[in-house]
């Protein structure tokens, strides 16, 4: 559970976001719903994860909340929330109810959830299109579909009613890509807590230790630092497990000469950190492991150097890829002209993913990376990861024997500034000897 103050978005920030959405919405209507409650089995309720779009626009985190933003000549935000219920609150905690929700989120109207059926149809008919994510099959979706039917059957006579249903991302995604000052503050704190967790995890690494024990140290530090928990399933992959990009079993014993790849991020105020470091279990990078680590670190440095306002976001991946391919040629993993090797994607068996992704309320935040085949230009306030890596799967025919089972990824979180970028996770070292020292320091060596 996140600390309450971390979830308290200032009213002025919410009003600014709604104004920005209304400027894009035109005469449309935007409908956002709380995420459904998840169950592991029978009545075993899982920890609740609020819908990020709803939170971004309203600050609401309670289940079953519905928000309707109406554009046009009389723009307004109408919210529907659960009523107070003493019996239900005994089991699941205090509800806000319409009165407290009105005081906290400052909508133009706030009604009990039981009034959705009575009030929502007229709100939907007021727009020329409805921005709503289909697929839930619930009461709200049925009203959306009926509103379309109304337009087809009778709206042509009056020129009223919605003509289409459009994904909410059409108006929200671009706005969410550029973070406001409040979001940047939360992302900085999420990065700080994430770094604290990685330091704790590095100190738990030792030959003969279980990957799960390292994961436990990591997540304990997240919670101690005020995080709501992990932003995604933590990866603690030692040896060949590091070559599995989404390895989350964390079930092996760490061998003495293994490298241990940890990809984990804390969630703070619903915002995410996302950091990867690769640590030597022995406390020192040596031999082939050191060669690969230093190559990936060189790629990270080049990628971060490419981050600046006005630069295409694709330049970050291009910079990292060139360094990696040049290095693979030097190490005789690849052979040929660097430009041609990149064009032919000969690096893909060893570097199959992009160098980063948008970061924010979602660990993979929404937003296009290219438009009509042209890479998007970076702007101040954009936040994303920089995460080059190399993976030498033991069972892959292209893997040289001396590198088999080595997987290295180094990932930082960066925010674009007016002059370049701010590395939010800079307090966690990336240089090989400094990273190794984090492991050794816990042993007093």
The whole-number pLDDT of residue 150 equals 77
- Split at pLDDT 50, 70, 90, the class of 148 is confident
Topology given in CATH for the domain delimited by 4-175? Creatine Amidinohydrolase; Chain A, domain 1 (3.40.350)
Across 122-139, b (16+ Cβ under 10 Å) vs e yields ebbbbbbbbbbbeeeeee
The whole-number pLDDT of residue 404 equals 98
pLDDT(3) > 70: no
Domain residue ranges of the chain, discontinuous segments joined by +: 4-175, 178-441
CA pair distance 134, 204, nearest whole angstrom? 45
pLDDT in tens, 256-296: 999 999 999 999 999 999 999 999 999 999 999 999 999 99
* 178-441: CATH number: 3.90.230.10
6 token code pair: 């971390």
CA pair distance 412, 426, nearest whole angstrom? 7
Span 415-432, mean pLDDT? Answer: 97
CA pair distance 62, 337, nearest whole angstrom? 56
Name beta bridge partners: 390.
Answer: 408
- Split at pLDDT 50, 70, 90, the class of 41 is confident
Q: Among 117-121, 162-166, 289-293, which stretch is predicted with the lowest mean pLDDT?
A: 162-166
pLDDT in tens, 344-393: 999 999 999 999 999 999 999 999 999 999 999 999 999 999 999 999 99
Q: Which residues, 6+ apart, have CB-to-CB distance to 94 below 8 Å?
A: none
Active site residues: 43, 246, 263, 274, 353, 357, 364, 387, 391, 409, 411
- Split at pLDDT 50, 70, 90, the class of 5 is low
Find out whether 158 and 183 touch, Cβ atoms under 8 Å. no
């Amino acid at each position: 559970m996140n600390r309450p103050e971390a979830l308290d978005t200032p009213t002025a920030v919410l009003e600014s976001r709604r104004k920005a959405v209304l400027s894009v919405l035109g005469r449309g209507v935007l409908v956002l719903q709380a995420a459904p409650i998840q169950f592991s089995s029978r009545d075993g309720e899982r920890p609740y994860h609020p819908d990020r779009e709803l939170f971004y626009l309203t600050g609401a985190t309670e289940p079953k909340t519905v928000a309707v933003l109406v554009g046009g000549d009389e723009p307004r935000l109408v919210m529907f929330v659960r009523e107070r219920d003493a019996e239900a609150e005994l089991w699941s905690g205090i509800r806000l109810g319409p009165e407290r929700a009105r005081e906290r989120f400052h909508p133009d109207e706030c009604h009990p959830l039981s009034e959705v059926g009575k009030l929502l149809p007229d709100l939907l008919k007021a727009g020329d299109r409805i921005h709503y994510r289909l697929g839930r099959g619930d009461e709200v979706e049925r009203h959306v579909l009926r509103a379309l039917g109304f337009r087809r059957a009778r709206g042509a006579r009056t020129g009223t009613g919605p003509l289409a249903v459009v994904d909410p991302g059409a108006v929200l995604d671009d706005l969410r890509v550029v973070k406001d000052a409040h979001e940047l503050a939360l992302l900085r704190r999420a990065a700080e807590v994430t770094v604290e967790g990685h330091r704790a995890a590095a100190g738990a690494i030792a030959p003969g230790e279980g990957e799960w024990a390292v994961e436990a140290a990591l997540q304990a530090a997240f919670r101690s630092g005020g995080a709501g928990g992990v932003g995604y399933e933590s990866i603690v992959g030692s040896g060949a497990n590091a070559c599995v990009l989404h390895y989350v079993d964390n079930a092996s014993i760490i061998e003495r000469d293994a490298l241990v790849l940890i990809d984990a991020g804390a969630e703070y105020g619903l915002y995410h950190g996302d950091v990867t470091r690769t640590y030597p279990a022995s406390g020192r990078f040596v031999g082939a492991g050191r060669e690969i680590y230093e190559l990936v670190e060189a790629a990270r440095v080049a990628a971060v150097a490419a981050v600046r306002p006005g630069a295409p976001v694709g330049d970050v991946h291009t910079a990292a890829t060139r360094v990696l391919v040049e290095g693979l040629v030097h190490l005789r993993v690849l052979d040929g002209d660097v430009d041609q090797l990149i064009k032919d994607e000969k690096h893909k068996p060893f570097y199959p993913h992009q160098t980063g992704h948008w970061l924010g309320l979602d660990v993979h935040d929404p937003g296009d990376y290219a438009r009509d085949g042209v890479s998007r230009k970076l702007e101040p306030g954009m936040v994303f990861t920089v995460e080059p890596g190399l993976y030498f799967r033991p069972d892959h025919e292209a893997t040289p024997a001396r590198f088999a089972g080595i997987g290295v990824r180094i990932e930082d979180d960066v925010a674009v500034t007016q002059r370049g970028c701010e590395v939010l996770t800079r307090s966690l070292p990336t240089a090989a000897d400094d990273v190794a020292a984090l492991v050794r320091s816990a042993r007093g060596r």
